[in-house]
Copies of this chain bind each other. A is one copy, B any other.
């Protein structure tokens, strides 16, 4: 028989060239008007380990944010959510080592006081300081590291790649690498649509998806494009929904997940609102930055050896596509098979079939690592040697066509390994 065509999957926008941007240097400090720092404040015992990050705009600016949907939400989320809703802020304070979660009223008081420390040193309003924490939960967060470290931390704020890098390192927990991105491109937001060069940069931490193992997703993005508050929130929400919200390491979400966007407008130019000509391009840059960071989270999943991309196409609805893609991406049997270099389409089919989404098993196609392995519900002969060679790559792709409609979804995950069990199970053994 002739080899069937591969399942067509939607294009990613991982490549910034697709909308006229390019990678640049600087992380979160790629954006003009942004300074950053990362210091050791004392949340961690090891004096060589950075544990507090501060990102500050030169003056109050536009902000947008998204937060965990977990019913348990930590004190910093309770403080930052209403503040970010104002659409303006000047700084984001982050710490690792203590999540300030399940800490009740004293936890909220500490989060407020830590923000006040920043406001005092920076000379801004308390309400313009956003906060985020990651680390152990159920332990009251001490205020003294913030108080003690803040004057020097604010003093050390700098607009440099090194400063951005220090901030990215200071929020790491089980992350094995800091995760940064920076893009630049020219958009028509000058007078009469004249081109102006703008930047989008940021960092993220995230490895497992939950708390006591000090693993949460915290992200700070910054741009110097003159976005309005409404445009910033629209671009960030759209980006998060197809990037960070499509990553699953272990199906667990955190009490602390937070994603912030500061838009300084330091480039000057006309304000970019949702209907401005330049909006789509800047929104794409924000989405692309978020996608690059999201892929770094999945690739750095606890114990992971592979970044796994699951595409589901041909679904009746977007929700169906998302449900099936998540069922596959969260299946321990699929994830362990990938760890074992086993192109086990049967487990993919089983995961797709279990999640309540209606389809006809005899209309389903599956590709594994770019090879058609199932067509119309029946297996194709598989060259196992070829599959083993394809497993040498750091990325694994799975595509499923349900044959029911035109909707699709993409989810990123990683494999499930002995090291995941060791990281998460070897506390007390």
A residues in contact (CB < 8 Å) with B:
69-73, 101-104, 137-138, 208, 210-213, 250-255, 330-333, 336-337, 339-342, 344-347, 349-354, 356-362, 364, 374, 377-379, 388, 415-418, 420-422, 424-429
Residue of B nearest to A253 (CB): B354
Residue numbers in B under 8 Å from A340 (CB-CB): 424-429
Q: Which residues of B are found within 8 Å of A342, using beta-carbon distances?
A: 425, 427-428
A324 to chain B, nearest CB (A): 10
> Which residue in chain B gives the minimum CB-CB distance to A137?
B346
Q: Check if A358 sits within 8 Å of B424, measured CB to CB.
A: no
- Judged by DSSP, the binding face of A is loop
Closest chain B CB from A429 CB (angstroms): 5
Minimum C-beta distance from A355 to chain B (A): 9
B421 adjacent to A331 (CB under 8 Å) = no
Q: Which residues of B contact A361 (CB under 8 A)?
A: 71-73, 102
With a cutoff of 8 Å between Cβ atoms, the chain B residues found around residue A344 in the complex are 212, 427
Check B336 against A421 for contact (C-beta < 8 Å).
yes
Kindly list chain B residues whose C-beta atoms are within 8 Å of the C-beta of A337: 424-425, 427
The residue that A425 contacts in the complex, of B339, B354, B425, B428, with Cβ under 8 A, is: B339
Q: A332 near B416 (CB under 8 angstroms)?
A: yes
| In the bound complex, CA of A70 to CA of B350 (Å) | 7
Instruction: Give Cα A138–Cα B347 distance, bound, in whole angstroms.
Output: 11
A421 touches B421 (CB 8 A): yes
- Bound together, the chains give a CA A137 to CA B175 distance in angstroms of 38
Contact B210 A250 (CB under 8 A): no
Chain B residues whose CB sits within 8 angstroms of the CB of A211 once the complex forms: 346-347, 350
A349: contacting residue among B102, B378, B429, CB under 8 A: B102
Residues in B neighbouring A349, C-beta threshold 8 A: 72, 102, 255
